[in-house]
Amino acid sequence: MLNSNCNRRIDCSALVIFASVIIGIVAGIFRAIALITITPAFLWVLFGITVVYLGILLLTSSLCCAERKPCCDRLILVLIGILGTILTSVILLGITFAATSIIGAIITGLLLFFFSLAIGGTACLIKCKYNCD
């Protein structure tokens, strides 16, 4: 079994998942107490970014997995983040929630969890591809 951990330190993917969970919980709490609001323009921007990013990822994923098998784990992390962001932004665009709605706060937390997972997973993918020698 291949070890995808550079120099036997804590795996980058675990750190990204932990940080994304924290970001999602904080965003959900802030949305529940109406400290932040999510506008449709913000949702459309996130949706557009992740759809374009999904297209780029599909075009370049064969190069990543052909060269280095350990980096494919990070690619799956990024893909989960992208697809989760697309799904939750479509849900929030399709259904209007009150500013202090608990369900809206949970979905907002999930949205920011998945988006930070995609961004952090990309950082781990780049780190794995260029620094794991």
Give the number of domains in the chain.
Answer: 1
pLDDT for position 1: 36
Is residue 68 included in any domain, yes or no? yes
pLDDT for position 2: 44
pLDDT for position 9: 60
CA distance 133 to 118: 24
Is residue 4 included in any domain, yes or no? no
Is residue 108 included in any domain, yes or no? yes
Is residue 1 included in any domain, yes or no? no
Is residue 106 included in any domain, yes or no? yes
pLDDT for position 63: 63
Supply the range of the domain harboring residue 41.
12-131
Average pLDDT per run of 10 along the chain, which is 133 residues long? 51 89 93 85 91 84 62 82 93 80 89 94 82 57
